[in-house]
C-alpha cells in the first residue's frame, strides 16, 4: 500500500463530538505517514482556517469537507474538489443552518435537487435499514453520478467481517466504488475519556449512564498504516488516495471581492464613502460643521 488519506475526520469544532484540535490531528496524521487528511466537521466550516494553517505547518494536504445528515435521507460526507465545490458547500451549509434554530441544522433531499458540481460524496450506508439502502443509493447516483463512493468504516467490532461483506455487496450491486474511512473523533486513543465525557454532556446524562450512546471502543482515532492494512482490503485503502488526488482546492485560492453593488459605477469604495460622509455632514449640521468636526 502506497499510503492512506483519511477522508472522514471531526475536529473539536464539531461541538461535543470531536476531541482533538486540527493541529493535533495533522501532527498525528503526518507522523503516521498519511498522504492527506480531510477535516469534515458536522455541517460546518468553522474550523477550516485552523486546519489549513496546521496543514501548511505539517506539510500534509488538507481536504476541505463536511459531514451532514439529511432529515429525510442518508448521512453523507461531502468533500471539496475545487473552488466551485467550496462555494456550493458553503451555500448548502448556510441553507441548513438558516432553516433551524441556532446550533442546529436541517437539510432535506430538496436541497440536493440543484447541481452540486465540485463536490464528492461519501455515503455512510450502514446507518440506514437495509430495505432503504437500494433506493437511497439510486437517488444519490442521480445527484452525484461518478462523484459518489460508499464509505466503509471498520472499528474492530465483532461483526466487522459481516458488515464489510454486506457493504461491498451493496457497492457492487449499485455499481459504485467503496472506500476506507475512519470516522475519526480524536487524534490518539488516549482522548477517549474526553470524548466519552463530551458525549455524555451532549446527551445530558452521566458518563456511567451514557450506555450505547458512547462508542464501544477507542478505535476512532488516527490509526497506524499497519493497523489499517489489517482491517481493510488494499483496494479500499488505495481508493482513498484516488479521491485525495481529485481534491485540489486550497483556501489560498480565496480572495476578498468587494461587493460591487454597494459602490456606484465610476466610484471607488474610498471616494463613495467620502461622498456619503459629506452628504451626512450637511444633514447633521445644516448651519455648517465646526473645523473640529471636519478634521475628524
pLDDT of the residue at 259: 67
82 and 127 Cβ atoms separated by less than 8 Å? no
44 and 28 housed in the same domain: yes
Region class of 277: left (phi > 0), else alpha (psi between -120 and 50), else beta = alpha
114: which residues sit within 8 A by CB, 6+ positions away?
none
Q: How far is CA 69 from CA 145, 152, 241, 273, in A?
A: 19, 17, 25, 44
Give residue-wise pLDDT tens across range 105-122.
999 999 998 889 999 999
Looking at residue 288, its pLDDT comes to: 87
Quote the CA–CA distance of 262 and 52 in Å, as a whole number: 31
Same domain assignment for residues 58 and 196: yes
Residues 29 and 150 in one domain: yes
**Cα gap 296→292, rounded to integer Å:** 6
- Among all chains, which residue has been given the C-alpha cell 473539536? 12
| Residue 130: predicted pLDDT | 84
86 and 23 in a common domain:
yes
Tell me: do 271 and 131 sit in the same domain.
no
Cell 470524548 identifies what position? 195
How far apart (Å, rounded) are the C-alpha atoms in residues 93 and 116? 13
96 vs 20: CA distance, rounded Å:
25
What are the tens digits of pLDDT across the range 25-81?
A: 999 999 999 999 999 999 999 999 999 999 999 999 999 999 999 997 899 999 999
| Residue 258 confidence (pLDDT) | 64
Q: Are residues 120 and 155 in the same domain?
A: yes
Q: Which DSSP string do the residues of 39-68 spell out, in sequence order? A: E--BT--TTHHHHHHHHHHHT-EEEEEEEE
Whole domain around residue 283: which residue ranges?
A: 260-295
Closest CA to 217 of 237, 190, 192: 192
Structural domain count of the chain: 2
Same-domain check for residues 119 and 219: yes
> Do 50 and 145 fall within a single domain?
yes
Alpha-helix runs per DSSP H in the chain: 22-31, 48-58, 83-99, 130-144, 160-174, 192-202, 225-231, 234-246, 269-284, 291-295
Between CA 29 and CA 260 the distance in angstroms is 42
- Which regions of the chain are under pLDDT 70? 1, 258-260
Output the pLDDT for position 114: 86
| Residue 194 confidence (pLDDT) | 93
pTM of the model: 0.86
Regarding whether 96 and 152 lie in a shared domain, the answer is yes
Per-residue model confidence (pLDDT) at position 183: 96
**What are the residues whose beta carbons fall under 8 Å from the beta carbon of 3, sequence distance 6 or more?**
33, 34, 35, 225, 241
Whether residues 289 and 205 share a domain: the answer is: no
Amino acid at each position: 500500500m502506497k499510503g492512506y488519506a483519511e477522508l472522514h475526520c471531526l475536529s473539536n469544532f464539531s461541538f461535543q463530538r470531536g476531541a482533538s484540535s486540527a493541529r493535533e490531528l495533522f501532527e498525528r496524521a503526518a507522523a503516521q505517514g498519511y498522504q492527506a487528511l480531510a477535516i469534515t466537521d458536522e455541517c460546518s466550516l468553522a474550523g477550516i482556517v485552523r486546519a489549513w494553517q496546521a496543514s501548511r505547518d505539517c506539510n500534509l494536504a488538507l481536504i476541505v469537507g463536511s459531514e451532514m445528515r439529511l432529515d429525510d435521507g442518508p448521512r453523507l460526507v461531502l468533500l471539496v474538489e475545487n473552488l466551485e465545490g467550496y462555494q456550493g458547500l458553503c451555500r448548502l451549509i448556510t441553507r441548513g443552518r438558516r432553516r433551524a434554530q441556532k446550533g442546529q441544522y436541517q437539510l432535506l433531499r430538496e436541497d440536493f435537487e440543484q447541481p452540486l458540481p465540485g463536490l464528492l460524496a461519501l455515503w455512510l450506508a450502514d446507518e440506514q435499514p437495509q430495505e432503504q439502502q437500494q433506493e437511497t443509493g439510486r437517488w444519490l447516483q442521480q445527484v452525484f453520478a461518478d462523484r459518489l463512493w460508499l464509505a466503509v468504516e471498520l472499528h474492530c467490532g465483532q461483526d466487522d467481517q459481516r458488515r464489510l461483506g454486506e457493504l461491498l455487496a451493496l457497492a457492487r450491486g449499485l455499481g459504485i466504488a467503496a472506500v476506507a474511512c475512519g470516522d475519526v473523533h480524536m487524534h490518539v486513543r488516549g482522548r477517549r475519556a474526553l470524548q466519552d465525557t463530551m458525549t455524555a454532556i451532549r446527551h445530558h446524562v452521566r458518563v456511567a449512564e451514557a450506555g450505547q450512546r458512547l462508542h464501544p471502543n477507542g478505535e476512532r482515532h488516527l490509526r497506524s498504516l499497519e493497523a489499517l492494512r489489517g482491517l481493510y482490503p488494499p483496494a479500499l485503502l488505495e481508493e482513498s488516495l484516488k479521491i485525495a488526488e481529485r481534491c485540489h482546492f486550497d483556501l489560498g485560492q480565496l480572495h476578498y471581492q468587494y461587493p460591487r453593488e454597494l459602490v456606484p459605477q465610476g466610484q471607488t469604495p474610498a471616494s463613495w464613502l467620502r461622498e456619503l460622509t459629506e452628504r451626512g455632514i450637511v444633514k447633521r449640521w445644516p448651519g455648517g460643521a465646526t473645523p473640529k468636526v471636519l478634521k475628524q
